[in-house]
Amino acid sequence: MSILLNDVTKRYGQQTVVKALSLEIVQGELFVLLGSSGSGKSTLLRMIAGLTPLDEGQICLGERD
């Protein structure tokens, strides 16, 4: 199953945590998410898992939005 992110954005109040991120991870691909503390890694993973709503953009898992 592939994961496709199109212009994903998440804000908490005035703070933009993830800004217009586009990314495709194809089936079988190994992917590592690196960044400093507070850079939005956990927020991004929570959005992919469906635990945190997006403010803008689209996430597709396989053929499903």
Q: Any idea which fold 3-61 has?
A: Rossmann fold (3.40.50)
Contact yes or no for 58/65 (Cβ under 8 A) = yes
* pLDDT tier for residue 42 given thresholds of 50, 70 and 90: very high
Taking only the tens place, the pLDDT of each residue in 15-31 is 999 999 999 999 999 99
Q: How far is CA 37 from the centre of its chain?
A: 16
* pLDDT tier for residue 54 given thresholds of 50, 70 and 90: very high
Neighbours of 35 (CB within 10 A): 10
- Each domain of the chain, given as residue ranges in start order, spans 3-61
* pLDDT tier for residue 62 given thresholds of 50, 70 and 90: confident
Q: What is the mean pLDDT of residues 1-17?
A: 95
Q: What is the mean pLDDT of the chain?
A: 94
